[in-house]
């Protein structure tokens, strides 16, 4: 019952796409996910660039993918893979409850939100410091908040929070956003958003219970931004004990070939966790499909 042709670690778009392609090829497939299927899609209020889906919430897109994967025969297992053992003919996946065997493994664990690594960030985690605007934005209705970051996610979160909060400061270390022009245009339409450019967060201050301010270094001088919430959105980083089994680049992303093979036989990888330039839902799906097809042809 615990033996599968392919085990997929991570149920984001890469993992679920891999499951669909592998199951449709007649393989037995198990997807291991420690929380909920969807990955970072779950924290995205609106997806507007996934082909044929039009405008759809990240939650709905995740549910659609999960239902399709299940319909093809994939099995979802809610468990964290703590370790693996790689043998010549199989890979053993170790969870807290049981062990599973698979002929091949696809690592699709995605990334975790990067930290600012400044004073007050850990102290006020859950007390005003958040990594998910769609998860926690409602707690700051009518308040002043800051978003730190300049990519698509940061700009999207700032625009979302502008609908809930009295004022939103978006703090970016450069003089231009890295986000797409279309997302920046949406932000420009929000009259309660203040752009704080060429600024670097220095510390998060509070009264011991809640956040009260964000201190930033702007053009060499410290200034105080009075806010009750700080949303950290500076990208993601791979973070898994399983990365030690495969070759990674200098930033910790898994190195793969064009077929999504890693340095380790029987281990493939797909999605945001691999070393590549573009990290989008559609590219994660492509990675997953390639990994599954590569295994099925092997």
* Residues annotated catalytic, as ranges: 132, 135-136
CB 209 within 8 A of CB 127: yes
CB 15 within 8 A of CB 31: yes
Q: Tell me the DSSP string of 198-244.
A: SEEEEEEEESSSSEEEEEEEETTEEEEEE-SEEEE-S-EE---GGGG
Eight-state DSSP code of residue 56: B
Integer angstrom CA distances of residue 116 from 51, 96, 195: 33, 31, 18
- Tokens at 279, concatenated: 């990290």
In terms of Cα–Cα distance, which of 99, 212, 76 is closest to 146? Answer: 212
Chain-centre distance for alpha carbon 182: 21
264 CB-near residues (< 8 Å, 6+ apart):
86, 245, 246
């Amino acid at each position: 019952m615990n033996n599968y042709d392919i085990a997929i670690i991570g149920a984001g778009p890469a993992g679920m796409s891999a499951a669909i392609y592998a199951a449709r090829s007649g393989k037995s497939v198990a997807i291991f996910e420690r929380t909920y299927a969807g990955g970072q899609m779950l924290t995205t209020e609106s997806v507007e660039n996934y082909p044929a889906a039009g405008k759809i919430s990240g939650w709905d897109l995740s549910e659609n993918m999960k239902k399709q994967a299940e319909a093809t025969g994939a099995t979802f297992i809610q468990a964290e893979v703590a370790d693996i053992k790689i043998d010549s003919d199989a890979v053993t996946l170790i969870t807290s409850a049981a062990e599973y065997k698979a002929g091949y493994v696809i690592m699709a664990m995605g990334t975790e939100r990067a930290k600012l690594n400044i004073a007050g960030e850990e102290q006020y985690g859950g007390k005003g410091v958040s990594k998910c605007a769609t998860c926690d934005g409602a707690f700051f209705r009518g308040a002043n908040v800051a978003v730190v970051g300049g990519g698509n996610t940061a700009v999207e979160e700032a625009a979302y929070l502008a609908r809930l909060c009295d004022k939103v400061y978006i703090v970016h270390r450069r003089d231009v956003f890295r986000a797409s022009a279309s997302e920046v245009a949406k932000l420009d339409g929000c009259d309660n958003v203040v752009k704080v450019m060429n600024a670097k967060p220095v510390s998060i201050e509070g009264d011991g219970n809640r956040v009260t301010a964000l201190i930033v270094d702007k053009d060499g001088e410290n200034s105080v931004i009075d806010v009750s919430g700080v949303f950290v959105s500076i990208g993601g980083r791979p973070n898994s004990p399983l990365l030690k089994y495969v070759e990674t680049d200098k930033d910790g992303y898994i190195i793969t070939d064009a077929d999504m093979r890693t340095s380790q036989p029987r281990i493939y990888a797909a999605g945001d966790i691999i070393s590549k330039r573009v990290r989008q839902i559609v590219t994660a799906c492509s990675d997953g499909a390639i990994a599954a097809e590569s295994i099925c042809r092997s």
